[in-house]
Structure 1
Amino acid sequence: MTENTGTRFEDGSYPADLGVKIEAADDAQSRLVLPFDERNTMFGLVHGGALASLVPIAAHAIAREPARAVTPPLRTVSMHVGYVRAARKAVTVETRAVRRVRELGFFEALIRDADGHAVAHASSTVSEAEPGSAPAGSPPLSDPPEGGRGFVAPADEAASGVAGAIRAAMAGSPFLSRRQLRLLGMRRGAIEMAMAPAAANLDGGGAMHEGAVLTLIDAAGATCPWTAVPPSPGASGATIALSAQLLGALPGDELVARAVVRARDARICWTDVTVAGGASGIVHAFGTVVYRFSEKNGS
């Protein structure tokens, strides 16, 4: 692995906002560091969206083989991350290329904290193919069922209380507040959330960064369960797994995530998330978030 200690993203993009540093990278593996900074936290822990963001950032940092002479930008088409421990310190992600087949690269990553404890493990598939102007086969997102009512601002006192708690939690998270997320509406078991095209959410080319999209999926998917199981005093929970599929080139406009609880038991909730352009309605990503409630939470 080629040592390149101290290299940082200096283009004002999403990785730069996180403070990601490339310690080493070549065409086979990479090592990146995410500092423990308040801007990357929620409730004093490194946010799961920041951790998930390291997966594509690290895979893209692995140099292409010179003989391939590939010029299009790298694009993550699929990834999965499993969270095994909360991070209270800086983390390092070590990623290796498992195989390259035609335009596809397959990668494995392990994220550890400063003490060497495993925080998350991940796999991803990256494409080097030139993206089209719009995701193929992704029609505009249709309105949700229930008579066309869609996602509406909660009117009853109980729902309004949950919405207020969700907004307060987002505002109180340095990481999420920097992403400029907005709760658009909710109903029991479903939520709609928007992410603004703020400079800190973009890549070097002005499009939404893949890490920002993963953060939106995580935020919507981890918030949605609380609309189905209102929190009791002292209740908490955490994302234990996130899967995502990105459908092509990302826009530089506002994105909207719709999350729907598909199944749950007393402790675990499975939520599907669809991410589309706020104005166009074109679907750009799908995701599934697996969320685990703490023992204190009521059913």
Structure 2
Amino acid sequence: MTENARTWFKDGSYPSDLGVTVEAADDAQSRLSLPYDERNTMFGLVHGGAIASLASISALAIARASPRAVAGPLRTAALHVGYVRAARKSLTVETRAVRRVRELGFFETLIKDVDGNPVAHASSTVSEGGSDSASADSPLPVPPSEGEGPFVAPSADAGTGDAEAIRAAMAATPFLSRRRLRLVSMRRGAVEMALDAAAANLDGDGAIHEGAVLTLIDAAGATCPWTVVPPSPGASGATIALNAHVLGPLPGDGLVARAVVRARDARICWTSVTVVDSASRKVHALGTVVYRFADKNGP
């Protein structure tokens, strides 16, 4: 591992808080591990946001180890994560560089538990161009379509789900409580969720870490379906896929995710997520979460 990569990782508060260890990293591949720890779980399972973070962290570790690595911020222009199994054990993460062309790096990631069972697979595209590629455009204002319809203070009104149950579930989830996530507002089929600029959510430069943004996207996108179908005894579900795009350097201030259910069938919800700066309301990341209800009588 190059000194550039070693310094970047050591200074990253978010990876350190997860307990991620870089076992090897060069300009062709990386190997990481994540211990099974209650702080990274939800209901005893490793949280999907932590798993998505591993794909981003491992690809960026390779980018940092490259001889052409830049000192400025890198960003994951595109990420797709498919979740194939719940994780109840420590994880290993293996990522390889598929190709590099111009400022882009293309990577593949396989995440397994310690018994060798596949947990998730991911593909990512990292912009390795540094400040030149990141400064072409500033983040855009929230599109009008994302702002339509009033978001209201959380309540337990019929048809909007049980906000208190959602808040209780978030508070009982060690991984989300460490991220200091909170439900800001909601209506049927939509939620707003905030992420504070706590130390555990930052990178070594004091900006929000990409992994924390992926957690915010996953949490908002997975919560949103429950505003359509109120939680009931025995009901459960899980994120089966997550797509994310980081549009540029992330701020050092808090972020807000606005999630909206776009389509659903008897089992699956497709939710779009827009992540904005809590101060300027400019867009910093986009995402899509595919969520599956375990109960066939879901939405």
Q: TM-score, normalised by structure 1?
A: 0.91
1:160-199 CA distance string (max 9 Å, x none): 7610011001000000000001101111000000000000
For 1:49, the equivalent position in structure 2 comes to: 49
CA 1:134/1:151 → structure 2, altered by over 3 Å: closer, same or farther?
A: farther
For 1:100 and 1:226, how far apart are their aligned partners in 2?
Answer: 41
For 1:95, the equivalent position in structure 2 comes to: 95
Structure 1 position 130 matched with structure 2 position 133: no
Of residues 136, 144, 148, the one that matches 2:147 is 144
**1:7–1:23 Cα contact (<8 Å) kept:** no
Residue 75 of structure 1 deviates from its aligned partner by 1.5
**2:207–2:251 Cα contact (<8 Å) kept:** yes
| 2:206 partner amino acid | G
Residue 7 of structure 1 deviates from its aligned partner by 11
1:110-259 to structure 2, matched below 5 A, reads: 110-131=110-131, 132=134, 136=138, 138-140=140-142, 142=144, 144-146=147-149, 150-155=150-155, 157-158=157-158, 162-259=162-259
For 1:137 and 1:89, how far apart are their aligned partners in 2?
Answer: 38
Flag structure 1 segments of 5+ consecutive residues without an equivalent.
none
Count matched residues.
292
| 2:266 partner amino acid | A
RMSD: 2.2
Q: Secondary structure at the match of 2:107?
A: strand
1:32-74 CA distance string (max 9 Å, x none): 00110000000000000000000110011115442x3643332
**1:258–1:274 Cα contact (<8 Å) kept:** yes
For 1:39 and 1:59, how far apart are their aligned partners in 2?
Answer: 23
For 1:36, the equivalent position in structure 2 comes to: 36
Residue 76 of structure 1 deviates from its aligned partner by 1.1
Q: Secondary structure at the match of 2:147?
A: coil
Q: TM-score, normalised by structure 2?
A: 0.91
**1:245–1:287 Cα contact (<8 Å) kept:** yes
CA 1:247/1:233 → structure 2, altered by over 3 Å: closer, same or farther?
A: same
For 1:137 and 1:16, how far apart are their aligned partners in 2?
Answer: 28
Flag structure 2 segments of 5+ consecutive residues without an equivalent.
none
| 1:79 partner amino acid | L
1:256-271 to structure 2, matched below 5 A, reads: 256-271=256-271
Residue 297 of structure 1 deviates from its aligned partner by 5.2
Residue 144 of structure 1 deviates from its aligned partner by 2.1
For 1:42 and 1:14, how far apart are their aligned partners in 2?
Answer: 18
For 1:123 and 1:38, how far apart are their aligned partners in 2?
Answer: 27
- Structure with the higher fraction of residues in helix conformation: 2
Identity across matched positions, percent:
73
**1:82–1:121 Cα contact (<8 Å) kept:** yes
For 1:253 and 1:141, how far apart are their aligned partners in 2?
Answer: 21
For 1:219 and 1:269, how far apart are their aligned partners in 2?
Answer: 14
**1:72–1:128 Cα contact (<8 Å) kept:** no
